[in-house]
Amino acid sequence: MDEPLSNLDAKLRVSMRAEIAKLHQRLETTTIYVTHDQTEAMTMADRIVIMKDGVIQQVGSPQEVYNTPVNIFVAGFIGSPTMNFFHVTLKDGVLTNHHGLKLRIPDGKNKVLKEKGYEGKEVIFGIRPEDIHGEQIALDAAPQSTVRAQVVVSELLGAETMLNSVIGDTEFVAKVDARNFHEPGSSVDLAFDLNKGNFFDKETELVIKLP
């Protein structure tokens, strides 16, 4: 199938995804489904092949490509909203940039990064919007990975809110509980779950494998 749902409206696309999935289960045949819509790939596939410029980047289950991307391209392609990326420098277990970001990473990750030669060097830190929290319990649990940001746009989506925020000139998105809605221009404290973050080599853009 080659982009079979591309010309349908949003509501019909959702229902047709379910119909195609049920048809596939009933027929029990291998089906190759081509799409540029990562939501279709994540919801319908048993295995996903992600390609860039005709070259395979990663093959795996939806869970594998989402949770353990092999490079920046895969990490940025899979997930909506996309993964946030920060250019940071690692020094003494702390990630910093020139815009006021300061995050202490877990000791285990810091140890491996130092062993791999990244101490004092710039790396790319990636974290998904849902791994940035605004609840007070998260803020209290991780004071050294909490930042104060300014809300640029706040999108209320029923049970959750997308906080498009900025630290200096660094923009990022946090997916938080709807009760954490903040008006644009207001300040907000947000806790980064550093256990869920990914680190990428600045030059190769490949993931740095950590515990």
Strand 160-167 to 170-177 pairing: antiparallel
Question: pLDDT value at position 5?
Answer: 86
Per-residue pLDDT of the chain (211 residues; tens, 9 = 90+): 888 888 888 889 889 888 888 888 888 888 898 998 888 899 889 999 999 999 999 999 999 999 999 999 999 999 989 999 999 999 999 999 988 899 999 999 999 999 999 999 999 999 999 999 998 888 888 899 999 999 999 999 988 999 999 998 889 999 999 888 899 999 999 999 999 999 999 999 999 999 8
DSSP state of 55: E
Give the CATH number for residue 23: 3.40.50.300
Among 44, 77, 110, give the residue marking a domain's end: 77
**Measured between alpha carbons, how far is residue 121 from residues 47, 87, 93, 140 in Å?**
35, 10, 12, 30
Residues 197 and 121 in one domain: yes
Q: Sort 120 into a burial class: Cβ within 10 Å, 0-12 / 13-18 / 19+.
A: exposed
Q: In what order do the strands lie in the sheet with 94-96?
A: 102-104, 94-96, 84-91, 122-127, 198-201
Residues 71 and 98 in one domain: no
**What b/e readout covers 154-192, taking b as 16+ CB neighbours within 10 angstroms?**
beeeeebbbbbbebeebebbbbbeeebbbeeeeebebbb
Residues 68 and 108 in one domain: no
Range of the domain at 32: 10-77
Q: Can you read off the two tokens belonging to residue 191?
A: 């806790």
Residues 21 and 91 in one domain: no
Among 61, 77, 93, give the residue marking a domain's end: 77
Question: pLDDT value at position 63?
Answer: 96
Residues 125 and 187 in one domain: yes
Question: pLDDT value at position 92?
Answer: 95
Residues 94 and 154 in one domain: yes
Residues 131 and 30 in one domain: no
Q: Is residue 40 part of a domain?
A: yes
